[in-house]
Structures are given as C-alpha cells and as structure tokens.
Amino acid sequence: MSQPSTFTALLVEEQDDKTFSKHIVQRSISDLPDNDLLIEVHYSSLNYKDAMSASGNKRISQHFPHTPGIDAAGIVISDKSGTFNAGDEVLVFGYDLGMNTPGGLGQVISIPADWAVACPESLSLKEAMTYGTGGLTAALCIQKLEQMGAKPSDGTVAITGATGGVGTISIALLKQLGYEAIAFSGKPEQSDKLKALGASEILHRDSLLEVKDALAGKPTWAHAIDTLGGDYLTGLLKQLKPGGGVASVGLAASADIAMSVIPFITRGISLLGVDSVYIPLEDKKHIWQRVATDMKLPNLDSYQQEITLSQTPEYLDKFLQGKVVGRYVVNVKEA
C-alpha cells in the first residue's frame, strides 16, 4: 500500500479567546508523530471522551490543534517494527490515541505498534467499530462481573445510562448471554428501543435517588453496570442483593460517591472498576476474541448509525447536549 502525502481529518483548534473550533481539514503526513505503525483508517466511532476532547477539555487533551478519536479500524500502510504487514486489518482503542496522539477521526494515524491488535477474522472493520470503546467497555464490564462469579441465575442486572453506547451494547450482550437486564434511563421516550434491545423493564434513573439518604435500600438486583457515578452509583450499591457487584465505568453524573460502608459489610457486595484504556495488550486481544465469538451480536447494523467524517462536529455536540442514543460509527473514508 502506497503512503499518501496528505489526508482528511477533524481538527480542533484553540482560538485567541480560549474557545475551541472544530473543522474538517487537509493535513500532511508530516503532521503526524514519528511512530512505527502507519494505518489508513477506514472506520472510527464516537465516544463521550471524543466529545470532551473536541470541546477543548484539557483533562483529556492538553495540546491543540488536535484530532480526537479514541477508536480506529483500518489497514496497515507500513510498520517499521515488523509486527504487522502492509495490508493487515488492525484495530486500535485506548492508550493515548485521540487524547494527545492524533486519533481515529483522521484518515491516517501513526502509533506505536503495540497499541494495535489484529482484527479477528469473523469481524469486519465496520463491525468492530460498531462495538468500539463503548461496546468493548460493555464486554469488559460483563467479563469483570463473570470473574467475580456472576451468572444468569443470580437475578437481574441493572444498567444506568442505558441509551448510551456502553448501555445499549450491555443490554444486548446480557440478553445474548442469558441474563435479565433492567434499564435505567433519563429518556423515557426511548423505552421501546431499550426493550427491543432486550431490557425486561425500563425505569427512570432518578428512581435510584430515592435511597440517597438511607444507609441501605431493599436488595433488588443481583448485579449492575454503571456509567453515571455519583448518587446513581450509590443508589445501585445500596440496593444490591448479597454478594452482588457493580461494574463502574463512567462519571457522566459525578466522579464522586458518598455512602456508608454498611452495605459492603452486611451484604458482601463489590464495587468493580473497569478500565478500557490501559489494560494489557493480551487482555485486549482476549476481549476482542470474545466479541468475535460468544459476544458477537447478530444484526450488528441495527446497533449503530453510520455517519461521515464531515458530520462528526455536529454529532460530537450531541454528546455534550445529552442527545446521544446508541452507537455512532464514522466512515472516515467518506470525508
């Protein structure tokens, strides 16, 4: 595969008045860092972290101008390390991609070779990005609960942020693996869609706040996956059945929790942190293989909306406006 001299990318720039703008521009290969692995990106996907980076959040991206995109699926152009061959299909998610290293919302990326994994043969590049970081995080949450000992016969699994990327894939994966899922959402108009994904019941997320001032609530669900944090997470923890666990992966509501240790002691519950960014490469390879086998969902196209690179500024804004539903796959070659 020949190396291009220029490529199209989303570029976020800091203005003199400290605001940030985002535009689709032409960039030079020389603008990329000098890493071993050069990849032609075919697909990416949108995540909340991309929206924060694109808005100039310097906890995510410190240096601008910058190209976000924490996910990428594409074809190897060249690899100075010898790990991959030109033409290999590879996947990248996590590490520093799209944070301070130019990310997958550009048609070419340059990364260390040990950030990439081979795309499983049973997944297309687009299917892989239908999962992306959101879907992989959902798979990691379920796997973390399984490692704790969770099984379908334990009872229902509660999911917060149910209409988001992690939430929608979590519901579908849990159903496929034989679990019953209860969805908590602040978007009641999406109830029919959540039921179609496999949720047995839809509850308003604010119902979790009813136990805010109690030391513990009535044991209600066996396990949970939380993307919100704050009082929503404490509401889940306070209503876990004995021996249950919550996989925690988000802080859309708050990064803080405040509660008594009593439910942990009297019910033996667990709070399980799930990292999808810096987990070892072998663990990433393993979870991708599960996504390509027992966690591969049928009719994957129904879980995503495909958009072009030129549409990403509009859709990144939707994340910050709370208007996101499901997964957004970016056809990066369609500038």
**pLDDT tens, residue by residue, 36-85:** 999 999 999 999 999 999 999 999 999 999 999 999 999 999 999 999 99
d(CA 198, CA 85): 40
Q: Kindly tell me if the per-residue pLDDT of 323 is higher than 90.
A: no
For the chain, the residue count is 335
Q: Which two tokens stand for residue 198?
A: 């496999």
| Per-residue pLDDT, 144 | 97
Residue 87 contacts residue 75 (beta carbons within 8 Å): yes
d(CA 41, CA 104): 7
d(CA 256, CA 76): 41
Give the pLDDT mean for 271-277: 93
User: Rounded mean pLDDT of the chain?
Assistant: 94
Q: Kindly tell me if the per-residue pLDDT of 278 is higher than 90.
A: no
Non-local (6+) Cβ contacts of 236 within 8 A are 158, 160, 208, 221, 224, 226, 246
Q: What ranges do the domains of the chain cover? A: 6-122+299-331, 133-273
d(CA 83, CA 62): 30
| Per-residue pLDDT, 1 | 67
| Per-residue pLDDT, 314 | 95
C-alpha closest to that of 186 among 160, 211, 209: 160
| Per-residue pLDDT, 303 | 87
| Per-residue pLDDT, 312 | 97
Q: Kindly tell me if the per-residue pLDDT of 242 is higher than 80.
A: yes
Q: At what angle do helices 125-148 and 165-176 cross, to 10 degrees?
A: 70
Instruction: Return the CATH number of the domain spanning residue range 6-122+299-331.
Output: 3.90.180.10
d(CA 295, CA 325): 21
pLDDT band (50, 70, 90) for residue 322: confident
Residue 84 contacts residue 76 (beta carbons within 8 Å): yes
Count of H-run helices and E-run strands, the chain: 8, 15
Domain 133-273: give its CATH superfamily.
NAD(P)-binding Rossmann-like Domain (3.40.50.720)
| Per-residue pLDDT, 65 | 96
Q: Which two tokens stand for residue 161?
A: 């942020």
Q: Give the strand pairing for 181-185 and 199-204.
A: parallel
Give the pLDDT mean for 249-261: 92
d(CA 233, CA 31): 42
Q: Kindly tell me if the per-residue pLDDT of 228 is higher than 90.
A: yes
pLDDT band (50, 70, 90) for residue 324: confident
d(CA 112, CA 104): 14
Give the pLDDT mean for 267-293: 93
H or E segment at 144? Answer: helix 125-148
pLDDT band (50, 70, 90) for residue 170: very high
Give the pLDDT mean for 86-111: 96
SS3 content of the chain, % helix, strand, coil (to 5): 35, 25, 40
